[in-house]
């Protein structure tokens, strides 16, 4: 049986916070690019399209370099951020994420999840961790 956790103690999330912050930043940059594109439909900017491709590839590369437990923790943070699970249900969230990841690519899931960077930040916030305060 696991020892009870102090309420003030942050649980071990199973993934480095710097990694979560970097991936969240890239996902947020992609979302911002998408918003910019919607506003400027008349202006085709190849540089922005190339930047978006680079950011998507970076997200895929970073997520695919993670171990399976780290990938599950990353997706679980998004699930907590979305409100699918409470912080107290962390073990369940990780299990749900691992099952989801076994069926399809976690990088593609995050890239297709609207507001994924924001959701990762919200997931961290649920554990009392500020995305803005994590060193990159």
Average pLDDT for consecutive 10-residue bins of the chain (136 residues)? Answer: 46 93 96 61 54 83 98 98 98 98 97 97 98 93
> Does 12 map to a domain?
no
Give the span between the Cα atoms of 18 and 27, in whole angstroms.
14
> Does 10 map to a domain?
no
Residue 136 is predicted with a pLDDT of 86
How many other CB atoms sit within 10 Å of the CB of residue 70?
18
Residue 94 is predicted with a pLDDT of 98
Tokens representing residue 122 in the block: 């919200």
Residue 31 is predicted with a pLDDT of 87
> Does 124 map to a domain?
yes
Question: Which pTM does this prediction carry?
Answer: 0.82
In terms of residue numbers, what domain contains 33? 17-38+47-133
Structure letter (DSSP) for residue 15: S
H or E stretch at 31: helix 17-39
Residue 70 is predicted with a pLDDT of 98
Structure letter (DSSP) for residue 11: P
Please tell me the total count of domains within the chain.
Answer: 1
Contact 59, 105 (CB under 8 A): no
> Does 7 map to a domain?
no
> Does 11 map to a domain?
no
Q: Which of 68, 79, 67, 70 is nearest to 113 (CA)?
A: 79
């Amino acid at each position: 049986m696991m020892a009870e956790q102090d309420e003030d103690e942050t649980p071990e999330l199973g993934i480095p916070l710097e990694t979560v912050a970097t991936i969240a930043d890239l996902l947020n940059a992609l979302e911002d690019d998408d918003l910019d594109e919607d506003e400027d439909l008349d202006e085709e900017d190849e540089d922005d399209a190339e930047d978006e491709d680079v950011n998507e590839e970076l997200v895929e590369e970073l997520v695919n370099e993670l171990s399976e437990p780290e990938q599950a923790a990353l997706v679980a943070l998004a699930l907590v951020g979305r409100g699918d699970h409470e912080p107290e249900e962390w073990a369940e969230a990780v299990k749900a994420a691992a099952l989801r990841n076994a069926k399809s690519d976690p990088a593609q899931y995050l890239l297709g999840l609207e507001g994924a960077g924001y959701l990762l930040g919200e997931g961290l916030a649920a554990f009392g961790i500020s995305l803005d305060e994590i060193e990159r």
